[in-house]
């Protein structure tokens, strides 16, 4: 079954800039896919369509059987977990526990179940010991891992990461790669870091000028690029 299906997606901004020209691809459950492409290719515009921040002029986006723009935006946002490039856009509570609890609590998860979700999500990113710490006391790499946990705690269908390796030192970069490999979730990663794509994603999409210019095994795509 597909986690994500994008069909004939086209979009122009209100000022008339055409950012996407009929984008088609499908990501199966459990795949890890890199989204590559030059600045201005439409990557951000595409990602903003995946959880309904933007809705299509033309075409469809389906996440776990739900249609973006038609089915409940809350249901869609629960299933599409966005990890921003800057973790400080995602962490705003006094402690790590409260930051990771925020999403599931909003969905109505309470008590023991909420506590368990928080611990499980932090365990998955190796940050369980930081549960009572203020996020701003953590290193950048640790904050990025906590930002991933805030999204995992929502139990998303697909995890979408914007430049996950940016600003990480080599050790943090390796740690995050191991974490992403260990997760049992579909991943779409926007990146300019080709070695990271090669290391983590069996498949890559190249978006260029608002169209999918290539879609296939990362090794072959990078050899041709
Ligand atoms: P990428 O993320 O690959 O760098 P974007 O999705 O940000 O690409 O941009 C795709 C195209 O849409 C570019 O031509 C960009 O200038 C344009 N664009 C992006 N955001 C806006 C906006 N808010 N209004 C008008 N044009 C935009
Ligand atoms: P990124 O490298 O993250 O894709 P961009 O340079 O594409 O960043 O865009 C940064 C921000 O500027 C985005 O929020 C995008 O929507 C906005 N933007 C990009 N191009 C335009 C444009 N031509 N007009 C208005 N806003 C734009």
Model ipTM? 0.76
Ligand 2 and 166: CB distance under 6 A: no
pLDDT band of 224, cuts 50, 70, 90: confident
Q: Can you give the pLDDT at residue 1?
A: 77
pTM score, whole prediction? 0.89
Is pLDDT at 42 greater than 80 in this prediction? yes
Contact 49, 61 (CB under 8 A): yes
Give me ligand 2 centre to Cα 178, in Å. Answer: 31
pLDDT mean across residues, the chain: 96
Q: Can you give the pLDDT at residue 141?
A: 97
pLDDT band of 27, cuts 50, 70, 90: very high
Report pLDDT digits (tens) over 95-145.
999 999 999 999 999 999 999 999 999 999 999 999 999 999 999 999 999
Q: Which of 16, 18, 44 to mutate to test the pocket of ligand 2 (most atoms within 8 A of CB)?
A: 44
Q: Can you give the pLDDT at residue 159?
A: 97
Give me ligand 2 centre to Cα 14, in Å. Answer: 13
Residues whose CB falls within 8 Å of the CB of residue 87, separated by 6 or more in sequence, listed in order: 135, 140, 143, 144, 146, 147
Report pLDDT digits (tens) over 170-179.
999 999 999 9
Q: Can you give the pLDDT at residue 9?
A: 97
Degrees (nearest 5) of the Cα angle 172, 192, 123? 30
Is pLDDT at 56 greater than 90 in this prediction? no
Sheet holding 32-36, edge to edge: 80-83, 158-162, 186-190, 32-36, 203-208, 211-217
Give me ligand 2 centre to Cα 101, in Å. Answer: 31
Residue with tokens 């389906």, as numbered in its chain: 62
Is pLDDT at 72 greater than 80 in this prediction? yes
């Amino acid at each position: 079954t597909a986690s994500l299906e994008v069909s004939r997606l086209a979009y122009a901004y209100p000022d008339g800039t055409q950012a996407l020209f009929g984008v088609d691809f499908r990501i199966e459950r459990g795949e890890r896919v890199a989204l590559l492409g030059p600045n201005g290719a439409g990557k951000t515009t595409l990602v903003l369509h995946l959880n309904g921040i933007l809705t299509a002029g033309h075409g469809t986006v389906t996440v776990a059987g739900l249609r973006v723009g038609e089915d409940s935006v809350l249901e869609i946002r629960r299933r599409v977990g966005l990890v921003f490039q800057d973790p400080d856009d995602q962490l705003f509570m006094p402690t790590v526990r409260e930051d990771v609890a925020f999403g599931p609590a909003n969905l109505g998860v309470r008590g023991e179940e909420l506590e368990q979700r928080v611990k499980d999500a932090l365990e998955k990113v190796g940050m369980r010991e930081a549960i009572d710490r203020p996020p701003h006391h953590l290193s950048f790499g640790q904050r990025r891992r906590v930002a991933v946990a805030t999204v995992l705690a929502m139990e998303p269908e697909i995890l979408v990461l914007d430049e996950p390796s940016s600003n990480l030192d080599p050790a943090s970069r390796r740690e995050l790669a191991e974490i992403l490999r260990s997760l049992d979730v579909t991943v779409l990663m926007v990146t300019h870091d080709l070695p990271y794509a090669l290391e983590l994603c069996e498949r890559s999409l190249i978006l260029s000028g608002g169209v999918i210019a290539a879609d296939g095994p990362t090794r072959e795509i990078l050899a041709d690029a």
